Amino acid sequence: MILTQKGDTLPQAIPAMDPKEMYKSQWRHVQTMAAEFWKRWKRDYISSLQPRSKWTLNQRNLEDGDLVLVKELDTPRNLWPVAIVNKTFPSEDGCVRTVQIRMRKGDDRTLYIRPVHKLVPLLESSEKGNDDA
C-alpha cells in the first residue's frame, strides 16, 4: 500500500551540466584510463617478453634480421619504434650485449647502436619468413 501511494514530494532533478565541462571531464577520464593501460602494458606485458634473470640460463643472442621494439623513456606511449637488428657485436665470452639496429625515421632508414637491454625481441629472423626475397 505504501508503494502505490503518491507522495507529496517530487524527486530531485538532475543538475544541468555544461556540455563543455562534461566533455572535458570525459576526455580527462579517457586520458587517465589510456595512461594507466600504457603503464600496466609496459610493466606487465613488455617485461614478460624480456624476462630478467641472474645469468643462470644461457639465452638466445640477438641475431641479424631480428625484429625488436626499442624502449625509449622519453617517447610517448604506444610510439616506441620498431627496428631490425642490422649487425651484432659479440663480446669475448660470445654474448651479444650491443647491436646495430636499422630504424625508419620518416623516409630515411637510420642506423643506431643500442645495448640489448633497451631492446625487446619481437620476432626472430627465422620466424619472419622470406620477406626479403
Q: Are 96 and 66 in contact (CB under 8 A)?
A: no
What counts of helices (H) and strands (E) characterise the chain?
Answer: 2, 5
Q: What is the mean pLDDT of each run of 10 residues along the chain (133 residues)?
A: 56 66 84 88 79 70 91 82 93 91 87 92 71 43
Phi, psi of 112 (to 5 degrees): -130, 155
Rounded to two decimals, the pTM is: 0.56
Instruction: Give me the long-range contacts of 4-11 (CB less than 8 A, separation at least 24).
Output: none
Q: How far is CA 103 from CA 31, 46, 47, 123, in A?
A: 29, 20, 22, 15
